[in-house]
Amino acid sequence: MDLGITGRVAVVSGGSKGQGLATAQVLLGEGCKVLIAARTPETLEEARAQLAAAAPGRVAAVAADMTDAGEVARVVAAARRQFGPVDIAVSNVIGHTIDPDEAGVHAGYFGDTPTREYAKEFKQLLLSSWWLAREVIPDMKARRWGRILNIASGSAREPQWEIPHILPNTVRPAVAALHRGLAEELSPFGITVNNMLTGPVATQRNIDYYTWLARERGVSFDEMISTTYARLPLRRPGKPEDMGHAIAFLCSEQARAISGQCMSVVGGRLRHVY
């Protein structure tokens, strides 16, 4: 299927690894021009070189903190200078810190998570996506075409009470509400807005989380993973490229009528009917 997005300009935050990198790869495969942004210059350069080898002349990278409004503006301006106005914006900023070797607020328990961590989670998950949308919307409106997507979590729809997850359980639904409201406002301009819900995926972040959680519960990592995956209909973790392909379709001309949705890319883990 020709998705009709050849030549479109995309910005993908968190694009140096995991689901962000996979999304950039898929969009490049569909003929887009892609700028990836991430905090760590070394990792970002490795990703840029990998992507550029497959799509020379269509890849750029900017080291930036996408939880800072000024940095977000700088990234979008760089994409505009390099390729032109941004057509596709993918927000992919992680939330709470996960260090498998340390105890701390990443545990996500209500009783020992201080106020500052709720504020930080709100900034990282909600404000980062709001700032990115704010920067790209004027050009999208002017051209009457655009795609805004946020890589989020299934906890936006079904809070995960079975694991320590208080921060995303609290903030993710607000992020989904933001994108639902944007979809309503931007539909007349040919701009779609969707929130992507993910779950257990084979990324380093998930490995770190379950390494920590296994230690918290006094079980081995293998036992923790086995128990977790046994609850999934697929009986295995998702793959980063699963998200990339779903996003690419929602960016397509064929998906122009899909907006304001929380799209589950979790292998059937969420149990809601609609």
Domain annotation covers residue 213: no
> What distance in Å separates the CA atoms of residue 150 and residue 130, rounded to the nearest whole number?
10
Q: At what angle do helices 204-217 and 221-230 cross, to 10 degrees?
A: 110
Q: Which CATH number is 189's domain given?
A: 3.40.50.720
Which pLDDT does position 67 carry in this prediction? 95
For residue 100, the model assigns a pLDDT of: 65
pLDDT for the residue 102:
65
> Domain containing 90: what range?
9-201+241-264
Q: What is the torsion angle, in degrees rounded to the nearest 10, for the CA atoms of residue 74, residue 77, residue 78 and residue 83? A: 160
Q: Please, which residues have CB within 8 angstroms of residue 125's CB and are 6 or more apart in sequence?
A: 93, 95, 152, 168, 171, 172, 175
Q: Is residue 105 part of a domain?
A: yes
Find, among 48, 53, 17, 45, the residue nearest to 34 by Cα. 48
Residue 86's closest CA among 21, 25, 7? 7
| pLDDT: which is higher, 265 or 7 | 7
The single-letter code of the amino acid at 47 is A
The domain tally of the chain equals: 1
Count Cα atoms within 13 angstroms, Cβ side, for 28: 25
In angstroms, the CA 189 to CA 26 distance is: 26
- Per-residue pLDDT band at 104 (split at 50, 70, 90): low
pLDDT digits (tens, 9 = 90+) for 123-144: 999 999 999 999 999 999 999 9
Q: What is the mean pLDDT of the chain?
A: 90
Q: Provide the whole-model pTM.
A: 0.90
Residue 220, domain member (yes or no): no
User: Is pLDDT above 60 for 105?
Assistant: no
Q: What per-residue confidence (pLDDT) applies to 94?
A: 82
Q: State pLDDT tens for residues 60-88.
A: 999 999 999 999 999 999 999 999 999 99
Short-list 158, 161, 193, CA closest to 179: 193
Q: What angle do CA 174, 169, 146 make, to 5 degrees?
A: 40
Residue 122 in domain: yes
Q: Tell me whether residue 183 is in a domain.
A: yes
N-terminal to C-terminal alpha carbon distance within the chain = 27
pLDDT confidence of residue 273: 65
Q: Is residue 168 part of a domain?
A: yes
The token duo for 19 is 């689901």
20-66 confidence digits (pLDDT tens):
999 999 999 999 999 999 999 999 999 999 999 999 999 999 999 99
Among candidate residues 264, 242, 266, the one with its CA nearest the CA of residue 23:
242
| 191: alpha, beta or left? (left if phi > 0; alpha if psi -120 to 50) | beta
The predicted structure's pLDDT at residue 251:
98
Band (209; pLDDT cuts 50, 70, 90): confident
* Percent of the residues in the chain that have a pLDDT greater than 70, as a whole number: 93
Q: Which residue has the higher pLDDT, 162 or 24?
A: 24
Which residue has better confidence, 96 or 169? 169
Residue 233 banded pLDDT, cuts 50, 70, 90:
confident
Sign of CA dihedral 175, 181, 184, 190: negative
Does 54 fall in a domain? yes
Q: pLDDT band at residue 153, thresholds of 50, 70 and 90?
A: confident
- C-alpha distances out from residue 236 to 83, 163, 209, 265, Å: 38, 18, 16, 13
pLDDT at position 274: 65
Q: In angstroms, rounded to a whole number, what is the distance separating the alpha carbons of residues 174 and 101? A: 30
Calculate mean pLDDT across residues 186-211: 87
Mean pLDDT is lowest, of 101-115, 146-160, 241-255, for 101-115
**Interior/surface letters 165-187, b for 16+ CB within 10 angstroms, e for the rest:** bbbbbbbbbebbebbbebbeebe
Angle at which helices 240-250 and 18-29 cross, to 10°: 50
Q: Is residue 21 domain-resident? A: yes
CA distance 163 to 186: 36
Examine the pLDDT at 178 and tell me if it is beyond 90. yes
